[in-house]
Every structure is written in structure tokens, then in C-alpha cells.
Amino acid sequence: MQKDMNRAIPCYVGGKGMYATATTREFKVAVIGLLEESGLGYDTRYRYYRRQFPAMEPQQLARMICDPIEIFDRDWPNWRAAQAPSRGEAELITAFFLERDARFRDEAQAAIYCFDEAGFGSGVNVMRFIGAGKPILGFYRRDPAERRVNVGNFLQLHMDYPTLVTVRAYQTPDDILSEARRWLAALPAPR
């Protein structure tokens, strides 16, 4: 498939953060791979960290950026050292993460979410995208035995914001990739 880099839509690939299991991590790695390989888009976080880790294998980088950023971000030690000593560790990590994550969200023109393990942070971020008028494609497992969240919570987003939020059930990773490809291709070209 020929890539059209002028068509590449900046995306925010999201889902459960710090305590994600293999389910969300595999989702993020697969979607980031699709974006990079297809030329339809790119994950803003992945592209940022590609500059910090230019020699890292693409799948390894995609897996790494699922971890909390204070573990791998090369700017963290210097940023932390420059802060007031009275701030607690949790506050420092949150401030650093928030600064970076705001940059990734602001650059993104669309979001692709795994709702399988969605928590409070995912809800906050999704509402930020809705508030900014940016489209969201969300996925959840079709099999009720595999669900870890209340599906009605994110189906409400689709019902309340049908022009911004698309929610799809899936069985296999291929379902995710084919639907993401179709959805991205239907979005307007990047600004």
C-alpha cells in the first residue's frame, strides 16, 4: 500500500494508562502500527518519542510508550531536578505527564480509544477531545465475559455526541484494524 503522508492524520491512541493489561497494550501497539504502516495517520505520542529513541525498533517503541513516561522519557530527570523541592513525587510526575499529554492531545486531530479497561483518566481525556470538537473512535470487546467495564458508560458518549463519537464492538484485532482504517479514510484531510 502506498502511503500518502499528506493525508496522515495526527491521532491520540488511548486507553487504560498505568495499570493497563495486555489487552490495552496490544490494542495500542496494533493501532500505532496500522497508523505508521498505512500512512493514514500517526500517534502523536509515538512520533514524539521516536525523536528521543530514533534507533528503537517500531514495535518496541510502541510497547514502551504504554508505560508511565517517567520511566523512559529522557527529559524527566532534568525536568524533575529543575522543580521546587517542596513538591511531592506524585505531584511532580503528574505535572510532567500533564504537560506532555496536553501536547499530544493538542496536536491530535482525532482519537482512537480502547475502552476495554477504560477508567477515570480515559473518561477525562475523552471529554477533553469532545470539548475540543475532535472525533473519537472507541472499541470494546463484543464478548460480555471479556468486559471489564460498563459498556453503557461509553455508549452514552456515542448517543450524546453521535457526530463526534463512534463506538464499535470487536471480536479480534483484525476487526479493530479494518474499522480504524475505514474510519480514518473517511475523516477530512488534516489541517
pLDDT digits (tens, 9 = 90+) for 109-166: 999 999 988 878 888 999 999 999 999 999 998 776 665 677 888 889 999 999 999 9
pLDDT at 169 over 50: yes
Contacts of 131 (CB under 8 A, 6+ apart): none
pTM score above 0.85: yes
The percentage of residues in the chain with a pLDDT greater than 70, rounded to a whole number, is 91
Whether the Cβ atoms of residue 140 and residue 167 lie closer than 8 Å to each other: yes
Q: What CA–CA distance (Å, rounded) separates 43 from 9?
A: 9
